[in-house]
Structures are given as C-alpha cells and as structure tokens.
Structure 1
Amino acid sequence: MTNINQHSLCLYKKLPIIVKEVSDKLTILYATGKTKKVREHELELIHDGPLYDFSIEVCIGSNLTEALDYSREEAISLEDLSDLLYDDFTAKQALSTYMLLNEGLYFFGTIHQIQGKSQKDIDEKLQAKKEKEEANTKWKDFISRIKSGSIIEDDAPYIKELERLAWGKIQESKILHELKIEQLPENAHRLLIKINYWEFQNPYLQRYELPEPPQLTDSYKLPDEERVDLTHLNSYAIDDVGNQDPDDAIALEGNTLWVHIADVSAIIKSDTPLDLECIARGSSAYLPEKTIPLLPKVFTEIFGMGIQEKSPAFSFAITLNDEGQVIDFKPCISWVNVKRLSYNEVDEKISESPFTELYNITQLSEQRRLKNNASNLDLPEVNIRVKDNGNQISIEPIKSSKSRQMVAEAMILAGEAIAAYCEKEDIPIPYAVQEAPDELQSPTDLAGMFAYRRKFKRSVIKVQAGAHFGLGIKQYTRATSPLRRVQDLIVHQQLRAHLKNEERMTTKELKLKIHQLDLSLPPIIKASRFSNKHWTLVYVKQNIDKEWTAIHVVKEEKYSLFMIPELALEFKHKPKDKSLALNESITLKAISIDLPDLSIQFKEI
C-alpha cells in the first residue's frame, strides 16, 4: 500500500513534481507539463497536498529577516521555514518555499537541513541577478534592433561573435540561433551585410587562417663565401611595374642563356627554425588587397635581383642547340649586376640587342615544347588590385607580350634544365609532374580552350622525375622563385649542398617536407581564388549599370557557362536564345550579386 497520496507534492531527482495518479506505479507531473511513471521509492514527499498544478508565484513572505536570522543559527526543515515565512505550511506554500530554497538566493541545503545565507552572499547574489537581468534586457533589445536592421554603436560587442562565425573561427552564433538561421559562415556574412555592419569585407583571409607577415626575430647576414663573379654580364630583372620581390633575372653571354635566381638558400638552411616556419607557410600569398610574404622583408633587401648594387645569385648557364634542346648546363653561386625593367619597357626594346637574341633563344625552347604537345591555351587573365578597403578596385587584363613570353620561357627552361641535372646527379628534389589528358587537342577558340583545360589532370609534386604534359617536357621542377615558394627553396638547398659537398636531404626526408607542403598550400590557393572572385563581384556591384560582353564557352542542358574576358569571370546563365552557339557573345547587365555565396545573376540586354 502506497504512503504517497494523489495530488501530493514530492521531489523526483531534485525536481518538484505532483503525483497525478496512484497505482502500481505513480504517474508524476513535471512543472513543464510532461508526465512520467515512477516507483514510490524514487520519490521524496514534501507535502501531502492537495496540489493540482504549478501555477504559483514565489513569494518571499513578510518574515524573511526573521527566517534568515533563525536559520543562520541552526538548520531548519522546509516546514519550519514555511511557518517562519508564511505562518503556515499549505501545499502551495510548501512549493513556494522549496522554489525559494532551490533558487539559492537566500537559503541553501536540503528540505531537511536548511540554513540562511550571510548578508554578504545575498548582496553578491542580488547584484549578479541584477546584472544578469540587465544583460538579458540588453540582449533582447539588441535582437529587436538586429531584426529591424537598426543597430547602434553599442551593439559591436555582440556583433563580434557574428564576425567570428563569418570568418569560420567558431561553429555557432547565439545571434543566428535566436533568429532561427542556419549556422553557416555564409549566413553570418549575409546578415552582417544586411545590417550594414559589413559592406565589402573579404572573409577569406581569416576563414582560411592565412598568417600575418613573418616577423624578424634574428639578424640575418649574407655568409662570407666564394662566388663566381658574373658582374660583367648585362643582367635584367623584368617584372610588372610595382613588383616588390624581384627574384629572377636573365642575361646573355654568346649563345648561352643565364638565369639568375635570388640565392635565399645562402642563409636559410634545411630544418633551421626559419626553414620550418617557411614549410608551415608554404608560399607567399598574393591577394588583391595585400601580399603576405613568405619571408621577412630583409630577405628581399639582401637577395632581390637589382635591389643592391651587387646581387647574390644562384646562377644557371643554359646552352641550347638549334632544335631548342639543352646541350650544356652549369649551376654556380655568383655575384651579378642587375638592372630592373618593366615588361612594357622591354617590349619597346624587344627589337634591340640583347633582347632580340634572348627572345629568339627562348623561342627555340618554346617551339620544341609545342612540338611535344605542350598546351598553348590563351585564356583570359586579369590583375586585381584593391585599395581603401575596397573603395578603389582596378581589374586590368594581363596581355600577352613578347617580353612576358621571353621571361616565362626562360624560367620554364631553367626548371627543366635543373630537373634534368638533379635527376642525373641523383639529387633528391621535388618534381612537378602532370599526366597527359585522355585525348590530345589543339584548340584555337575560347570555348575549345576552356573545354580542353577541363580535361587536364592535376599537377602533383613527386620525388621521382616524370613528364609534365602541360609544359611538354620530360622533367620539371619549380626553382625560380625561392623568395616566394618553399618548393623552389628546397631545390636550391639541395643544389647548394651538392655543389659544396655537404649533407643533403634524403628522399625520405624530402617526402615528409612535401607532405607538409600538401597541408600548408591549399589554404593559400583557396583564399586567393575566393578573394579574387569576391573582389571581382564587388567591382561589378560598384559598376552595376555597366554592360558586359560575355562569351558562351560551355553548353549545358539547363544553364550554360559564360565568361566575361574583361574580368576573367566565369558564371552560369540561361541564354534567351537556346540555339546560341559556342564562342558567340551576348551583352549583359548584373541584376543580383550575392557576395556570401560568390554568385551573380545577369539579364541580357
């Protein structure tokens, strides 16, 4: 026979409940309205009742001071506390007394042993309660403002959390939870724009955790070592105007092409602290709004081609035969005198010596590669520059020119010759390898080149030499930008150790470094790609009334792929004319730009 009656007040796992039905098992009612069947021994009786619901307000009573004084002297029961507070112990007063105890503001203990808190504890608790209520009020007011899109300056601390989600630093935002919005960085970004807290901010630097520029923690000095004096050569570093890290130069000596590369490995030795930091960084990050260099600025000041009166270089002498094949190759550590020129300046002098001879030599190499099925795709490329937090954006097409072809071919030729030399001398280096596509093509139109590029297989880094399809050569390594790329620096470290008969990295050690680069490079690549797309869309948004010419490059069942050559922008669009042929153009205006999703919609004019 049960000792607990229907409608009595009990505790179940420290929660107040009302007994609704009595049978073999008791049906209990929670304050939330939920019910559950339990056994009698699981309950602790507070009051026989009757109590039918939890619809009461906690009332402190008129005798709180007396109750506190009494219970501070000795512990009392719940019934005694109720008598002190309310002069009675009904079911509702028992519930009110327990809830007051459970609140923990004035009393603490169990229903059998209750004691009053000190005035100091009560004052601290009341202050904390007040502050919490004020914080809740501020939060509710903030949510009301964010719903109406009328935030104020004081809302910034709340919005920082939203920014952290947009940057991918946290997984959830209390704000999005309150607004019942899915917890995605894109949604946080979209809301920041909606409330006019963000306008053009690029989230991808933080989202992919690109590091800050490296800080100089040690003093670096070029070591005193023997170098071949090549200062008699007229050497030229040819770059875009404004280039800040000139790491290569070319020169001509008779029929020999000299390629000079910044000799960074003179200071950065394998597995030193700075080398390990470089491995973690992977490469410089070139973004429209900033450049995050691989190395501290002092390295460009020491090694940049043409920065000092004499530049320390790793120089490579390359001689070709009439078919463009390398017949002689010599590496050396050198001193060079370098003159810095822009591509435009060299294009104006391309018919003059030594640029004519340099161009002709590199053309021999290019023609050989093209005969070996090297890809010759001429897809639109642009140079994006951002200033003043996105208020000044320039997008300039990169136009092919003889000077650009000459320099690019000289660097490819150097990478090919170094790779062949290292393979012959059994020097472990990272090779760039690319398999051929399943079908070889020679497209000349934009759509054809675009489709052919889609069939290319990914270039990979290996410790074994292999053919590089895209370049049309038997072996290749990247070795001409050690100020900017760790892969190039590794090649230089290995070559330098070989020339000086010093210990080199083993193949096993090299594999480990390649694995580390496989982890550090993807975030830089993604941040760069998405940043370029972001700022391109911002540029279109700032020129919303401009008409654009788009070329049809891929035809699909629902949406075709178009490209705006002026922007190098690819996008999906459903043309009005379903019979629109590939390579035909249409004129468009942007009607919708979603920066968080990096999407854009156009209408045809």
Structure 2
Amino acid sequence: MGAKKITIDVEGSKPISVRPKDVTLLHPGPVTSLGQLQPPDGDVMTAWELLAGETTTLAELSELAYGDFTPQTAWAIWEMVADGLYFSGTPDEVAVHTAVSVASTQADRAAKAAEEQAWQDFLDRVNRNELEEADGRFLQDVVAVAHRQQKQSKLLQALNQSESEENAHKLLLRLGYWDEWHNPYPQRAGITMSQPSADLPPLPDETRRDLTHLPAFAIDDAGSTDPDDAISWENTCTERSR
C-alpha cells in the first residue's frame, strides 16, 4: 500500500484527505491555522529588484524581504509565487522575474481585464436591446450558429438561451444586427454568396472576321459604348442574310 494520506481540516467544511505528493511543504512550522499567517512588515519589492533575473529559494527570499524565515513570511512570499507576477517556481527554486517580464505580464493582465469589462458592458447593452458599432465582434458566434456554421455561442450561453439556429436568428433581429431581409438559408445550405474566383485559360488563337462595318441595333442609352445584346445582318454573295 502507498503512504497514508494527509488529513487537512478546512474551516467551515469537512476535512479532506490528500496524497503526500500533492502537498508542498513551505515551512516546518509550527502553525495550526492559516489565520495565524499574517505577514510582518517587510520590503518585498526591494528584494525583487535586487534578485531580478536570478533564481533563489523560498527561505532566502523570505529572509531578504522580511529579515526572517517563518511560517508567516513563507506564506506571504508563496502567495506572490503562486500569483506569478514577480516570482514563480517551487520552494527550492524560485525564479525572480525581470522588470521587462513583469511589465509584459501586467500589460497582458490589464488587457484581459479590459476585455472582460468590455464583455460585461456588452452583456448589459444586450439586456437593454442596445448595440454599439463595435459590438459586432461579440456577435460573430451567434451569426455562425444562425448560419449553421457552429453549434455553440458564448452569448447565447450567457443569456441562458438554447443554442439553436432559430434563437440565434431571433436575437440578431431583436438587436437590430440583422434586418428582416437577411436570408440565412443559403449559408445554412453551404452556398457561397460571393463571386467565384477561378483562373480562365487563354483564348484560343482563332481566325476572326471583322464585322465592325455592319450596323447594329440595340435598345440602350444613346451614349452607351458597352458591349450589349444587339441585332445586325449581312448580305452574302449568295444573297442570304446572316
């Protein structure tokens, strides 16, 4: 049999049992409750600046940032390691990120937060039956469902609506993204609505007769010079008309 499992008491819930290999030892203790793990005053940012680009340990980083390695300081540093902005790794090998890496991560997180806020603002507008010009990008999965090009829609899920072609069509009409003249059936049938593009072979080298001297008659504007359907005739030497 394998090693015995470790029982962890969870405040407000039942104890849970985990395998020893799923537990990371941060400090030998003693500590009896996470409520005791309030970090003392320290200077983590200075420690980060001093070690940027290097690798250290949880104990060394705690001592540099807080002047001591205790359960409280170990937990405080580990929370930052788990966050991944300034540090990452394991207790025995903590990577200290460079300023460039930190700035890049901060920019990515800011962009993600802005996108999440934009999505929430969009949902609020949808619930008010309103749309902004830039909202079309959030509706493309609904369009794809309405055109039978995919089966799932993030927006329909968020609205707790069935992801059916009919519901997608109704939503696009309700929001005014489509009007009643939009016909989704060609796309549902896989019919291409754009002009086909194909390479044409070169014209064969044929003997051509010059008929530009013949009068031609067509119903068109007087100033039109575009080729069009017209009628003309020519008397041949046998007096037959062409």
Fold shared, TM-score > 0.5 on shorter chain: yes
Report the equivalent of 1:208.
189
Q: 1:217 aligns with which of 199, 203, 219?
A: 199
Report the equivalent of 1:485.
none
CA distance in 1: counterparts of 2:123 and 2:46, whole angstroms: 43
Q: 1:39 deviation in Å? A: 3.5
Q: 1:136 aligns with which of 83, 108, 116?
A: 116
Q: 1:157 deviation in Å? A: 1.7
Counterpart amino acid of residue 161 in structure 1: D
Task: Spell out, residue by residue over 1:43-100, the C-alpha distance to the aligned partner (whole angstroms, 9 max, x if none).
Answer: 331133535458999x9x7523321133337532213323333445454543332221
CA distance in 2: counterparts of 1:145 and 1:56, whole angstroms: 43
- Any gaps of 5 or more consecutive residues in structure 2? 207-227, 233-241
Q: 1:117 aligns with which of 85, 92, 97?
A: 97
2:36 corresponds to 1:68 = no
Change (3 A) 1:209 1:28: farther
CA distance in 1: counterparts of 2:88 and 2:161, whole angstroms: 40
Q: 1:112 deviation in Å? A: 0.8
Q: Does structure 2 retain, via aligned residues, the 8 Å contact 1:77–1:112?
A: yes
Q: Does structure 2 retain, via aligned residues, the 8 Å contact 1:51–1:92?
A: no
CA distance in 2: counterparts of 1:115 and 1:193, whole angstroms: 53
Q: Does structure 1 retain, via aligned residues, the 8 Å contact 2:56–2:96?
A: no
Q: 1:309 deviation in Å? A: 5.7
Q: Does structure 1 retain, via aligned residues, the 8 Å contact 2:143–2:168?
A: yes
CA distance in 2: counterparts of 1:54 and 1:185, whole angstroms: 52
2:194 corresponds to 1:194 = no
CA distance in 2: counterparts of 1:203 and 1:35, whole angstroms: 55
After the TM superposition, which residues 304-383 of structure 1 pair with which residues of structure 2 at under 5 Å, given as runs?
A: none
After the TM superposition, which residues 196-595 of structure 1 pair with which residues of structure 2 at under 5 Å, given as runs?
A: 196-200=176-180, 201-211=182-192, 212-215=194-197, 217-218=199-200
Q: Does structure 1 retain, via aligned residues, the 8 Å contact 2:52–2:99?
A: no
Q: Does structure 2 retain, via aligned residues, the 8 Å contact 1:167–1:206?
A: yes
CA distance in 1: counterparts of 2:14 and 2:146, whole angstroms: 39
Task: Spell out, residue by residue over 1:136-171, the C-alpha distance to the aligned partner (whole angstroms, 9 max, x if none).
Answer: 111111111112212222212212232122222233
RMSD: 3.7
Q: 1:146 aligns with which of 115, 126, 131?
A: 126
Describe the SS at the equivalent of 2:52.
helix
Report the equivalent of 1:174.
154
Change (3 A) 1:209 1:126: same
Report the equivalent of 1:164.
144
- Any gaps of 5 or more consecutive residues in structure 1? 1-22, 225-300, 302-306, 311-336, 338-605
Describe the SS at the equivalent of 1:182.
coil
CA distance in 2: counterparts of 1:55 and 1:142, whole angstroms: 43
Change (3 A) 1:308 1:182: same
Residue-pair matches, total: 205
Report the equivalent of 1:393.
none
Identity %: 25
Describe the SS at the equivalent of 2:117.
helix
Q: 1:126 deviation in Å? A: 1.2
Task: Spell out, residue by residue over 1:124-144, the C-alpha distance to the aligned partner (whole angstroms, 9 max, x if none).
Answer: 111111111111111111111
CA distance in 2: counterparts of 1:96 and 1:62, whole angstroms: 10
Q: Does structure 2 retain, via aligned residues, the 8 Å contact 1:49–1:90?
A: no
Task: Spell out, residue by residue over 1:514-541, the C-alpha distance to the aligned partner (whole angstroms, 9 max, x if none).
Answer: xxxxxxxxxxxxxxxxxxxxxxxxxxxx
